[in-house]
Amino acid sequence: MAENYSDEVLYDFTPMLKAYKDGRVVRLTGEQFVPASVDPATRVKSKDVQISPELGVAARIYLPGDAKLKLPVVVYFHGGGFAVESPFSPLYHKHLNHVVAESNAVAVSVDYRLAPEYPLPTAYDDSWLALKWVFSDEAQNEEWIRDYADLGRVYLGGDSAGGNIAHHLAIRVGSEQNTGTNISLRGIFLNCPYFGGKDPVGVESSEEMVMWKKFVDILWVFVYPKEFPGYDDPWINPAKDPRVSGLGCSRVLVYVAEKDYLKDRGWYYKETLEKSGWFGEIEVVEVKGEDHVFSVFSPDGENGLAMIQKVASFINH
């Protein structure tokens, strides 16, 4: 029997999602919703806020259970290839509980809209809107921001696609520093950031990684289909961005994993920033034996916890 047109797969990004020729998108992960709560393991509290109800941009705010004074702020962007996951999934809810507990910081985990329904640059625009909200008068109506958030100690963080977003928001902060904006950043931390480029770097040229390069390249087309910018556009390849020397913070921490296809993009990012004339300091930490965003999948494992503790030290430096 001939296959029904509606069952023909146009893109197969298993284990993330499948997109069909009839327009259906079936997400295979990140769809489960966990309500805000007091986490019994860490005593971290959380609540959900609407940032732009008309656009559907929201966030989950986290607060240490024993918060008393003003604390550093982490604005966090989840991974998932710009196409799956949310701050409300079990995976990211647990991860942020551990980050907040270890760093003793207020966290704002951003729920940006996903591709392909909302193709890039929507995720960047939504995330910028959320960052502006943190510094806005409106956010002062939210007691956890008003009473506990030290807006002089704000950090951006993210894993995979979220690391890409954190980088680009820091670029935008830097480019708008002379426009009267009140947004300022202390630093950013990127966990296995999703960067790429037309020409392979490091392990990307090896035979065993050919499949992964194809996966990453096709995913970029999928999430940014309109007026496709190419594989060397600054959105995906920071080395091609003439603004990179103006990254709007003085400290960067990058984590990469030995078995991750994207590992050498993290090292190349360090090389790019150092050669650009950027004024800050960057550290890259490579974790042996681990794969992509290992600390998200296992925040209480030995290596995941060690990474989160390193991030906590970075935030409180």
Query: Which residues are annotated as catalytic?
Result: 160, 260, 292
Cβ atoms of 292 and 264 closer than 8 Å = no
Q: How far apart are CA 222 and CA 4, in angstroms?
A: 23
Q: Quick one: CA torsion of 71, 73, 79, 85, rounded to 10 degrees?
A: 70
SS in 3 state form for 80-102? CCCCCCCCCCHHHHHHHHHHHHH
Q: How far apart are CA 124 and CA 59, in angstroms?
A: 15
On the question of a cis peptide bond just before residue 234, with omega within 30 degrees of 0, the verdict is no
Residue 47's CB is within 10 A of a number of other CB atoms, namely 15
Q: How far apart are CA 278 and CA 269, in angstroms?
A: 12
